[in-house]
Chain A
Amino acid sequence: MKDRSDVLQGTLDMLVLRAVQLEPMHGWGIAERIEQWSEQVLQLGQGTLYPGLYRLERQNFIRSEWRITDKNRRARYYSLTASGRRYLTESLAQWRRVSRAINLVLDVTTVN
């Protein structure tokens, strides 16, 4: 079994937004998608997803609606809004800057 890491506080938002960027998804789908993408490294306490979803919706980064799944069941689907898209772009850029900086530091210290 691979190591599982807690999702860093604050990065969950970014992951959720990224997950719904391609197509509208329900909560379970989002959790599943994040785990798949991370090759099971990032494993959520799936329930912790929901406060974030409700907050992001309040902040108007995502919106939600009831839809019928392909198995004919009712589920709440989340999709990205325009301002959510902007926020995601900014967050990603920020994330890349920071992680690159951290990697640089770590590489240097490793060499020594």
Chain B
Amino acid sequence: MGALADGWRRLRSLGRRRELEDRLDDEIRFHVEHQIEKNQRAGMTPAEARRLAMIRFGGVEQTRERTRDEFRAAPLEHLARDVRYGLRSLRRHPGFTAMAVLSLAIGIGANTAIFGVAYAVLFRQSPLADPETLVNIYESPSNPMSYPNIEDLRRGTTHVFSGIAASAFAVTQIDRGGTAATVMGEAVTGGAFALLGVEPQLGRAIQPQDDVSRGGHPVVMLSHGYWQRAFGGDPQVVGRTLQMGRRGYTIIGVAPAVYRGGLPAITPAFFVPMTMLDELMGIEMLDRRFNHSMLVKARLAPGVTRVQAEHAASLVAASLSTARPEGWIAGERFELVPTSEVQVVPGIDPLLRAAAWLLITVVGLVLLLACTNLASFLVARAVDRGQEIAVRRALGASRGALARQVLVESALLGLGGAVAGLVLAFALLDLLLSIDLPLPYGMRLDLHFGLGWPTLLDWRVLAFTAGAGVMAGIFLGLLPAVHGTRADLGLALKAGGKGSDAPGPLRWRNVMVVAQIAMSLVLLVGAGLFLRSWQQTLAVDPGFGRTPTSILSVIMPATRSAPDAAVQRTRRLLERFRALPGATAVGLVWPLPLELSSSQTDFTIDGRKPPAGRETFRASRATADGGYFDAAGMTIVAGRTFNDDDRRDSQPVALISQAMARRYWPDGDALGRILRRPDPGEEDLLIVGVVSDVNVRSLGEAPRDLVYQSYTQGEPLPGASFLVRTAIDPARMALALVSTGQQVDPDLRVMQAMSMTQHLATARLPSQIGAFLLAAFAVLGAALAAIGVYGTVRYTVAMRTREVGIRMALGADAASVARLLASRGLRLVLLGGVIGVAISLIAARLLATLLFGVGTFDPVALAGAPLVLGVAAWVAAYLPAWRASRADPLAALRAD
């Protein structure tokens, strides 16, 4: 708080006031003396002269007082007085104050935390130098690029780009004195840090001379987060050696905390030169033109526009499609997007933004609910204070002064709420960030790059909190300030603040209750929709993994030169796994369905023309062994699975998904057909079987065309996931898989071992997070609304205490009195409910893109939400009414 500035201002006004008062006194003395002299000259006695002079002047004290009001510092003095008075009055009602500050803190805290996260993920850019001349380059549509394509692009665009930087995720095991962990980092081209203008926090950055020869530069730069986590921020870390994979890498520097790597939100643990990627991962990635895994940024040369650069890139694309038809699909092009317009990836940005705005809207509604509650309590308080206010007005306080004082009081509450909210926001953020999300590869949603104390103190976040607090305060105070001070003097003085029925402010209170119910109903319906959506993903059958299964994902050692040796190794692993006690079925697949990576293949079919503008069909691809389908719980719909006769020297075969079979061979005659593949490295495949569909990329997606190849044919696998269906606990089985695997093959690099349940949980994560977050806020909102109803009814009841006493003395029974008292509250609830449902019906449409498997008109959510809220409101309305109806009628009559 600006206590310092405030104190200084008050001191200054004090000093100035002293001076002004002295001056005024001098002037008045001079004036009166002058008049006395004049009177004496006119022949009066000194006493008479003085008396008349004083009469002519009028009240000296009054003059002083009224002139003081004209002093410049007066408004500030009034403010200080109001603040003191406000603090005193808040201290006098500790319960009310605590409740008010706490509900505001909840609203503001939630807002700040969500705003902080949303801002960090979506709206904050990495601090790259001259971001306006940077573009992200994708192979359309918004796909990462392959390294050979980047090289070709670089060669063909030297006149439009002053530099191109690429990065790719690199997963490896880091062995730090016995504790090996799978860690995700990034391989970057040598010029990347210089091009982006990222200065190292410590040591030096990766430079072009670190990225010259394949496997020749075992140097590593740590990310700020990993440096903190693994080395405790040790400043002496540069020069040490880090055991990564099978080699020691020299630590050359630490990246700054604000740099989040090529893909924001997933901050890598380390950076290595791009030429080290193959060696580090143990697989060949750099030379594969089809390996689309590079995120690319380029800097426009001075004076070059994006359109010019796009044109140059399109020329490269055209030459690529003629010079290397095997590596380029006709019609594909390079996509240039200004870096500042990309948050994560153009493809998912709209979804992320929608989610962020949804969250911000939701927490905003919660804040509004909290404010409405408080405003209605403040109105009630103002009415309670009707007598005090009436007395003060009768004594001459202006309505403006009283209103100002009410406003100051609520602004104090707002400020208190903001401070408490900020503290709460940090606690919430800590909680949010400590949640262990089931992400693969020990990946971390590393928001920590900044969401600790220092970065949350980012002025935008602070401004947001302060703004929320002040707005809340003003919003809170306005109504009571206007209405509380309007009270008819005579009436208020007579009634002693306990009129029998609702004056103006209560009407406002009723409006607020209706608004609250409507708002919280919208929240609840939204939460209901998301919970239903999540429930749907739980119910979705991905087509595999219905029974307890363990998964072991490994990186296969690079053995491109000796494919048969690789097959032998894999076979040995499969056999050992099969022999494990408790293993009922064993198989391998790559890539694992519903994992991040995916693979595709192009093919043609005799007698069918590819879609217009394309020369081939395209389908997802997976490599598997014969046992995979059984282990994954899939069914062979037709034909056979892979077997030992499918060898490198025999006819390459394929199994296809049922969806693919239906699409291309609706008559059911897929078996025996040939998939012709134009890429030189890939052989034509004979379809020998059709298997049931699985979800490949996302849960509940439409069945995809999917081609399975045998791991014994085609190129060696870069990685594999072993699936073991098991009769024992899958987590224990997963551990057994790790130890057995490492026994068989000491070089085996385990990426992760997990149960199928965990794997599917990862796939459900987005809808789960959305559902639970929203549900939490909706419950909060409903609770606030219920408190609002409770407060209103309790207040009405308190106002009608005497009436209740009379009714009961005349023989009304408790139940009917309770009904009478609660009915007004419940009528408001009903009205709010109707409005809320109407708004929900409209608002739900906006959520369509974020929902899965539920329509926007979901009867369960639309009926459930009012039910929940109705019960809560009913309890809230009846509780105080019931209590009042139990009261002793005599005591009620005497009350006052």
Contacts and interface: CB of A to CB of B under 8 A. Distances in A.
B56 A46 contact: yes
A46 B67 contact: no
B332 interface: no
A109 B673 CA distance: 115
Interface string B43-59: 00000000000001111
A51 interface: yes
A99 B56 CA distance: 29
Interface in A7-35: 26-28, 31
Contacts of B35: 28, 46
Chain A interface extent, by class: 10 to 19
Interface string A70-98: 00011110000000000000000000000
Contacts of A28: 30-31, 34-35
B71 A46 contact: no
Nearest to A29: B34
B72 A47 contact: no
A47 B30 contact: no
B24 interface: yes
Interface in B155-170: none
A56 B60 CA distance: 20
B78 to A, nearest CB: 16
Interface residues of B, number: 23
Contact of B67 (A26, A51, A74, A76): A51
Contacts of B34: 28
Contact of A47 (B62, B70, B71): B62
A50 B27 contact: yes
A54 B30 CA distance: 16
B67 A27 contact: no
B23 interface: yes
Contacts of B745: none
Contact of B24 (A45, A50, A55, A74): A50
A58 B35 CA distance: 27
A47 B26 contact: no
A58 B72 contact: yes
A48 interface: yes
A77 to B, nearest CB: 10
B37 to A, nearest CB: 9
Interface string B130-166: 0000000000000000000000000000000000000
Contact of B23 (A48, A55, A76): A76
Contacts of A58: 70, 72
By secondary structure, the A interface counts as helix
Interface string B4-40: 0000000000000000100110111011001100000
B66 interface: yes
A31 B24 CA distance: 16
A51 B26 contact: no
B58 A47 contact: yes
Given A51-B63, A76-B23, A76-B26, A46 B31 contact: yes
B67 A54 contact: yes
B69 interface: yes
A58 B74 CA distance: 12
Contact of A45 (B31, B57, B70): B57
A52 to B, nearest CB: 8
Contact of A76 (B27, B58, B59, B66): B27
Nearest to A30: B31
A20 to B, nearest CB: 14
Contacts of A27: 27, 30-31
Given A28-B35, A76-B23, A51 B69 contact: yes
Contacts of A76: 23, 26-27, 30
A3 B60 CA distance: 25
Interface in B468-525: none
B269 to A, nearest CB: 65
B26 A50 contact: no
Given A28-B35, A45-B58, A50 B71 contact: no
A75 B35 CA distance: 14
B58 to A, nearest CB: 4
B58 A48 contact: yes
A26 B57 CA distance: 15
A45 B72 CA distance: 24
Contact of A74 (B26, B31, B58, B69): B26
A92 to B, nearest CB: 24
A55 to B, nearest CB: 5
A49 B60 CA distance: 12
A31 B31 CA distance: 10
12 contacts: A45-B58, A46-B57, A47-B28, A47-B58, A47-B62, A48-B58, A50-B27, A51-B69, A54-B20, A58-B70, A74-B26, A75-B27
Given A27-B30, A46-B58, A75-B30, 6 more contacts: A45-B56, A45-B58, A47-B58, A50-B66, A74-B26, A75-B27
Across the A-B interface, the 4 shortest Cβ-Cβ residue pairs: A47-B63, A45-B58, A47-B58, A54-B70
